[in-house]
Amino acid sequence: MTPKIILMPFNGNDHELAALETAFTLAKRWKAHVAVWHALPDPEEIITIYSSFIMGASYLPDESSYAELLKLNEKSRKETLQKFIKTAKAFGIPCDDSPEKDKASTSFHTTVDHAEKIITTHGRLSDLIVMSRNPEQNLIYDEIVHTAMFETGRPLLLVPPGHNAKPLNEKILIAWNGSPEAIHAVTAALPFLKNGDVKILTGESDNWHGPAILPQDLADYLDKHEIHAETLMPWINGNSPAPTILSSAKKIGAGLIVMGAYSHSRMREMIMGGVTAHMLRHADVPILMMH
């Protein structure tokens, strides 16, 4: 299914602009709608948490502190909206909450809420979630990514940080291990794979064993969808496959990596698998992931 609704959380940071540009590029390709959501913190919640930490008790914020935080929120909203409008105009995409069919469009939404709640609610009614990969380790960001990957049932496209989007080229690498997560990712990636130069990479390592479904089986499956894919020589070593995936993508000049998203924690799934975590930290090309 060709994506028609793309969700993107956007805080207005410059390193997120590449992801925003990528979302608009895909909207023009698929004549889709990009719903951009800007989450603002709740001033009362901030003051209460801070005061509880300092004073050891709940605290009702005074008017001056509350008003100052409201001003900061409004400043953030205006600056983020300006960047959004500027980027949308550069792509020739109209800002419209009620877009015409078969035309690319976008809309900007601001709300005082946690980003995870927005993604959970609106992400499940989207076809694709686009986010910027954070250049630094951040627990809040990890929580948001975790929500997008494990709580929505939708594919997540993570774009490397930067001021200018690196165009998604037609060269695509599928990191294949035969798992349900991997085939979910491949199925979600079918609109990307159409007319693409697709390579399938697989292998064995200490924590990633050979697939029950062979790479050639996947190639045959894709052929039924009129997608030609070639299998690469498998690797066998004792290391994590993540560095091999990235080096293979660089070797073939891939503009997109498709792979399943994995977690180690059964209770809450907050601890992401080693391969997933490594890719979140180090991938220098866009990654399409799905659980």
Same domain, 213 and 139: no
DSSP state of 272: B
Same domain, 152 and 177: no
Select from 187, 151, 135 the least CA-distant residue to 19. 135
Same domain, 213 and 234: yes
Q: pLDDT, tens digit, for every residue of 166-184?
A: 568 889 999 998 888 999 9
For 212, phi then psi, to 5°, come to: -70, -30
Confirm whether pTM is higher than 0.75.
Answer: yes
Same domain, 62 and 127: yes
CA angle, residues 237, 239, 243, in degrees to nearest 5? 110
Side-chain half-sphere CA neighbours of 228 within 13 A: 5
Asked whether residue 65 is domain-assigned, the answer is yes
Q: In this model, does residue 84 exceed pLDDT 90?
A: yes
The answer to whether 182 and 175 are in contact (CB under 8 A) is yes
Q: In this model, does residue 70 exceed pLDDT 70?
A: yes
Asked whether residue 166 is domain-assigned, the answer is no
Same domain, 216 and 236: yes
d(C-alpha 198, C-alpha 95), whole Å: 34
d(C-alpha 287, C-alpha 28), whole Å: 20
Question: Which of 85-89, 130-134, 139-143, 239-243 has the weakest average pLDDT?
Answer: 239-243
Domain carrying residue 63: 5-159
Return the structure tokens found at 232: 């690469």
The answer to whether 146 and 269 are in contact (CB under 8 A) is yes
pLDDT at site 265: 52
Same domain, 223 and 151: no
Same domain, 42 and 82: yes
Q: In this model, does residue 264 exceed pLDDT 60?
A: no
Query: Residue 43 maps to which CATH number?
Result: 3.40.50.12370
Count the domains in the chain: 2
Relative to beta strand 33-40, strand 105-112 is parallel
DSSP state of 255: S
pLDDT at site 178: 87
